[in-house]
Amino acid sequence: MDYQTIIVEEKNAVGCLTFNRPKQLNSFNETMHQEVSKVLKAWAKDQNIRAVVISAEGRGFCAGQDLNDRVVDPNADAPDLGLSIEKYYNPLIKLITEMPKPVVCAVNGVAAGAGANIALACDIVLAAKSASFIQAFCRLGLVPDSGGTWFLPRLVGRAQAMGMAMLGDKISAEQALQLGMIWQVVEDDQLKAEAEKMGEHLAKQPTYGLSLIKKAIHAAADNNLDDQLILERDLQRLAGRSHDYREGVQAFMQKRTPDYKGC
């Protein structure tokens, strides 16, 4: 399969999707949306892919929307920015958050606008020391989209979220780590290796169980404790039926390394 805007690799049960429009700082145009969506949809269903790693080529991670697609004629009617959100960005965020396997994100450079929020939608975010996050929307009179207004307050609290969203300042990888926005900061030249190592590790884990963890933690954002306790009971029921749970217990008893199949 040849893609114009991304590089796709499948190895050792890991699906690696690399944004590949380095000259445009990997900003999204329609083709990129279509290609990314096609790949993520296929991986969601593919039992042989047990972890996904999203990374990017060049110096930036993703600058959000390609504004060349958005030149606004001051004399024309106002554009409908809701269209591309409805058609592309919202489904993309849902593909990531509802992916029934872990999604690791390697942020190599600037992640701005929707690019920052696509990273925050992922399960485990690694960032290079030189990477940064910018909620650039406010500078153009826009609102953080692609889940930004939902992820930010949940990740860093309202005060920090408000500051980031209203000021649009650059947040360094270190700051992002301190605020609890991302999982880990690594040396620039280690990023790709670390992300791949993480992906390979996760691909050997009990994938089905991980998908239930993901579901539970996402549900917690909207649930009260009672509902969440019930959900934990339900998901544990499902997890207990899985092959990997039995294998895990057996391996523990027999003092051997478990051989997980992801189901």
Binding mask 122-141 for other proteins (x = CB under 8 A): --------------------
**Which of 11, 70, 241, 243 is in the footprint of other proteins by CB under 8 A?**
241
> Angle formed by the axes of helices 90-97 and 114-121, to 10°?
20
Site residue total, other proteins (CB under 8 A): 6
- In angstroms, rounded to a whole number, what is the distance separating the alpha carbons of residues 133 and 254? 47
By beta-carbon proximity to other proteins, the closer residue of 95 and 185 is 95
| CB 36 to other proteins: min, Å | 24
- In angstroms, rounded to a whole number, what is the distance separating the alpha carbons of residues 119 and 66? 17
Q: How far is Cα of residue 27 from the mean position of the Cα atoms in its chain?
A: 16
- In angstroms, rounded to a whole number, what is the distance separating the alpha carbons of residues 127 and 119? 10
Length of the chain in terms of residues written: 263
By beta-carbon proximity to other proteins, the closer residue of 237 and 256 is 237
CB 139 within 8 A of CB 164: no
| CB 208 to other proteins: min, Å | 10
By beta-carbon proximity to other proteins, the closer residue of 231 and 251 is 231
| CB 243 to other proteins: min, Å | 14
By beta-carbon proximity to other proteins, the closer residue of 158 and 241 is 241
Binding mask 218-237 for other proteins (x = CB under 8 A): -------------x--xx-x
- In angstroms, rounded to a whole number, what is the distance separating the alpha carbons of residues 223 and 229? 9
By beta-carbon proximity to other proteins, the closer residue of 187 and 234 is 234
| CB 237 to other proteins: min, Å | 6
Collapsed DSSP state (helix, strand, coil) of residue 62: strand
Which pair of structure tokens corresponds to residue 184?
A: 């880990």
By beta-carbon proximity to other proteins, the closer residue of 143 and 230 is 230
CA dist list (Å): 15 to 89, 133, 241? 21, 24, 26
Site for other proteins contains 238 (CB under 8 A): yes
Contact residues for other proteins (CB under 8 A)?
Answer: 231, 234-235, 237-238, 241
